[in-house]
Amino acid sequence: MKYLFVVAHPDDEALGAGGMIYDLIHKNHDVYVCFMCSNIEARTVTSNEKSIRQQAENSMTILGVPKGNLIYGAFYDIKMNIVPHLDLVKFIESAIITVKPNIIVTHGHEDINCDHKITSECCDEAVRYFQRNNLDVVIKKYMYMEVLSSTDWAIGVQFAPNYFYEIDNTGVDKKIEALKEYNSAVRAFPHPRCEENIRALATYRGCQSGLKYAEGFIIAFEKEK
């Protein structure tokens, strides 16, 4: 199976689905990651494109994703709200056309980060590309993931997963190891992205589903065949 993770920023993929990605690779699935923003100038600790791309490649190497499976957009972080909507949708469509994924994972609509929210909304439209153009549909499942310090900070709504992907202790360790390749991704306790909370969320999602450790997702749609 081919998986495409469409995320706003480098580090979102590891935060939301690092354990899943690591497990998928070791089950011989193909994993691709599409980053909308490769220049994260709003982050003072990591402000140039070359640096963040190197961090992304180092992180994905730990999870097992080949460098050639990383797709970089040129949009600027925390400015996606001033980019023409159609430009964003078409960029995601181009990634989908190139990869031809069976399963797509992106941000949830609940996220308070504007880039996450916009990425999710644009991805909703892009996944309909095949339907709009009367082509054979290859996408079998479309899911939303949660990102600590974004999804969990939303007010009045709650991320309520209906799909739990089991990850073992090694998966949690690799997720954290991959995150540490990004400057400032893992923060000191009691920040939501501290190592203790990353492990706690994996434990909590696991307990919700009768598993030891898990990552939670919301399935937007799934096709049986």
* 3-class SS string, 52-67: HHHHHHHHHHHHCCCH
Q: What is the pLDDT of residue 173?
A: 98
Of 196 and 50, which is predicted with more confidence? Answer: 196
Q: What tens digit of pLDDT does each residue of 49-81 get?
A: 668 999 999 999 999 999 999 999 999 999 999
- Other beta carbons within 10 Å of 206: 20
Of residues 223, 222, 101, 220, the one with CA closest to residue 161: 220
Domains and CATH numbers, the chain: 2-222 (3.40.50.10320)
In angstroms, the CA 9 to CA 102 distance is 22
pLDDT confidence tier of residue 138, bands split at 50, 70 and 90? confident
Of residues 162, 143, 149, 155, the one with CA closest to residue 192: 149
pLDDT confidence tier of residue 209, bands split at 50, 70 and 90? very high
Q: What is the mean pLDDT of residues 175-197?
A: 97
Name 127's Cβ contacts closer than 8 Å, sequence gap at least 6.
96, 104, 139, 142
Name 97's Cβ contacts closer than 8 Å, sequence gap at least 6.
129
